[in-house]
């Protein structure tokens, strides 16, 4: 009994070794890339948690909360688990199967027309055995499918990291927009206090007959405009708070009534960190979306190999070993032993058109994956280019708006002196006030845009995640 089982297992193991058709990892097509230098370990560490460069603990807390609880990140994690289960399914075809079968039955045959001394009309049947089977993977059908599933698992993991990177960037961008809205709200409130003083002063002058109705109504209109701007700022703050509550994965109750901790609106709103100089463009090649597109392309190539393997015959080996007897007491005796070995070959003859159609469909999906890969690389380099342009010009805009604000503050001071001395009309003062308010608003917006440009640049270079090698992503 043990010898027969050992021979069966040895035969199946030998078949598995003989079926070792080599299947290799496909390579991505070459692309015309600009010259790049490999990043250093310090540069990689900087990009993995780029939000720390802003030295804002509340921003760091919000990003960490979003990465831990965002629902898009949770959905991407589920997709990884689904892809991992597909790998296990694909790998199951690479190994022999073994099934334990245990059965017992009692039956009765007809007694009509039997001899005078018939055998017992009722009988028992007891059996226990092990069924073994294996399909030789001579053409790499199952190995290609297994490696394709591993690449699809890697693609799902890179997609998850792409989502995490995007969520971190969106959280930071929304946070900076919220801080800018807070600063603008405070600016408008301070301006409203100044406009109130102006209206009171003009009202006193009007009552004294020093000015006409026109100057008073202009002052009141300017105050009303500021009141409207305060309402717009409050609206923006409310919408941005709801967006951050959603990004951080909070409950519907907290999304409906969000509470977002941030620094005071006058706290270093114009403070923008400097990016280190000399960041190599080679950093972007670690972007998770590029690695995902490459993994999907490799999987599509392997699916073609899997589809083509259906043209060739499949060879299956089977074996069974066990015991069968009419009495339970005799089930494990030597005379009750049974065994079987077998082999089968299956060659498609009529259904070749369906195989051809499957191959063509796999090739079409491969061609689509090639286009997707090239589009992803092209988009990545465009995003880096755009982020560099915006980052450079945003700092220039911020510097210019700061100088303009200082100049317009001096203009307002002169206009007030001229109006007090009776050398000009109140319209000149109003124009100077409008100009200074606009300059303050644009300076806040320029600081916000500069901070967002840093976030976009870090994201474009593949920041916000810890790189995972392909072999590790396949696990």
Q: Model pTM?
A: 0.82
* Residue 81 pLDDT: 93
pLDDT in tens, 318-327: 888 888 888 8
* Region at 255 (left for phi over 0; alpha for psi -120 to 50; beta for the rest): alpha
Low-confidence winner among 260-264, 370-374, 389-393, 411-415 (lowest mean pLDDT) = 260-264
Q: Taking residues 397-406, what's their average pLDDT?
A: 89
Any domain includes 117: no
Between CA 348 and CA 142 the distance in angstroms is 17
What's the whole-number average pLDDT of the chain? Answer: 84
Any domain includes 378: yes
Any domain includes 432: yes
Q: Tell me how many domains the chain contains.
A: 1
Instruction: Return the number of other C-beta atoms located less than 10 Å from residue 444's C-beta.
Output: 24
Q: Kindly report the CA angle at 147 between 145 and 151, in degrees rounded to 5? A: 115
Between CA 455 and CA 269 the distance in angstroms is 16
Any domain includes 118: no
Of all residues in the chain, the percent with pLDDT exceeding 70 is 88
Residue 265's pLDDT band (boundaries 50, 70, 90)?
Answer: low
Of 185, 173, 179, 189, nearest to 261 by C-alpha is 179
Any domain includes 291: yes
pLDDT in tens, 437-461: 888 889 988 888 988 988 988 888 8
List CB contacts of 373: < 8 A, sequence separation 6 or more: 28, 29, 293, 294, 296, 297
Residue 129's pLDDT band (boundaries 50, 70, 90)?
Answer: confident
pLDDT in tens, 1-39: 456 555 545 554 554 454 445 688 888 777 776 666 666
Any domain includes 26: yes
* Residue 245 pLDDT: 94
Low-confidence winner among 239-248, 309-318, 332-341 (lowest mean pLDDT) = 332-341
Domain holding 10, by residue range, is 2-104+124-473
Any domain includes 110: no
Which CATH number do you get for residue 306?
A: 1.20.1600.10
Higher pLDDT, 315 or 38: 315
* Residue 6 pLDDT: 58
pLDDT in tens, 78-120: 999 999 999 999 999 888 988 998 988 888 877 666 565 566 7
Any domain includes 116: no
Higher pLDDT, 235 or 349: 235
Of all residues in the chain, the percent with pLDDT exceeding 90 is 31
Q: Is the pLDDT of residue 61 over 60?
A: yes
Q: Taking residues 420-441, what's their average pLDDT?
A: 84
Q: Is the pLDDT of residue 282 over 70?
A: no
pLDDT in tens, 330-361: 778 888 888 888 888 888 887 788 889 999 99
Q: Taking residues 146-156, what's their average pLDDT?
A: 93
Beta strands across the sheet bearing 97-108: 97-108, 122-136, 314-325, 337-346
């Amino acid at each position: 009994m043990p010898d027969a089982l050992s021979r069966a297992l040895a035969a199946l193991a030998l078949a598995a070794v003989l079926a070792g058709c080599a299947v290799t990892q496909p390579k991505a097509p070459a692309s015309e890339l600009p010259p790049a230098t490999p990043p250093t370990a310090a540069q990689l560490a900087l990009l993995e948690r780029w939000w720390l460069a802003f030295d804002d603990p509340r921003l760091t807390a919000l990003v960490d909360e979003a990465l831990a609880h965002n629902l898009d990140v949770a959905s991407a994690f589920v997709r990884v688990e689904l892809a991992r289960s597909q790998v296990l399914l694909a790998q199951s075809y690479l190994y022999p199967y073994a099934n334990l079968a245990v059965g017992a039955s009692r039956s009765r045959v007809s007694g009509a027309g039997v001899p005078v001394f018939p055998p017992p009309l009722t009988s028992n049947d007891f059996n226990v055995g092990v069924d073994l089977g294996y399909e030789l993977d001579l053409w790499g059908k199952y190995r290609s499918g297994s490696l394709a599933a591993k690449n699809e698992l890697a693609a799902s993991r890179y997609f998850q990291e792409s989502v995490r990177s995007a969520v971190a960037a969106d959280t930071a961008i929304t946070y900076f927009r919220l801080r800018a809205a807070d600063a603008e709200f405070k600016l408008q409130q301070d301006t409203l206090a100044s406009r109130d003083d102006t209206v009171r002063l003009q009202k006193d002058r009007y009552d004294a007959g020093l000015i006409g109705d026109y100057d008073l109504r202009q002052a009141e209109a300017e105050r009303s405009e500021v009141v409207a701007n305060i309402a717009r700022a409050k609206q923006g703050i409310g919408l941005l708070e709801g967006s951050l509550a959603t990004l951080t994965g909070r409950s519907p109750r907290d999304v409906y009534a969000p509470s977002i901790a941030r620094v005071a609106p006058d706290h270093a709103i114009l403070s923008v960190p400097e990016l280190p100089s000399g960041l190599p463009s080679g950093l972007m090649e670690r972007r998770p979306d590029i690695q995902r597109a490459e993994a999907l392309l490799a999987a599509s190539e392997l699916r073609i190999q899997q589809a083509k393997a259906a043209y060739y015959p499949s060879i299956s080996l089977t074996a069974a070993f066990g015991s069968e007897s009419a009495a339970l007491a005799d089930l494990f005796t030597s005379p009750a032993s049974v065994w079987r070995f077998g082999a089968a070959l299956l060659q498609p003859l009529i259904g070749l058109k369906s195989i051809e159609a499957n191959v063509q469909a796999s090739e079409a999906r491969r061609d689509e994956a090639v286009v997707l890969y090239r589009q992803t690389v092209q988009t990545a380099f465009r995003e880096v280019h755009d982020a560099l342009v915006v980052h450079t010009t945003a700092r220039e805009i911020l510097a210019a708006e700061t100088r303009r604000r200082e100049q317009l503050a001096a203009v307002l001071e002169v206009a007030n002196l001229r109006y007090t001395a009776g050398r000009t009309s109140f319209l000149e003062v109003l124009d100077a006030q409008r100009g200074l308010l606009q300059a303050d608003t644009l300076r806040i917006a320029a600081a916000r845009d500069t901070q967002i440009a840093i976030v976009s640049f870090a994201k474009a270079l593949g920041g916000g995640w810890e790189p995972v090698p392909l072999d590790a992503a396949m696990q």
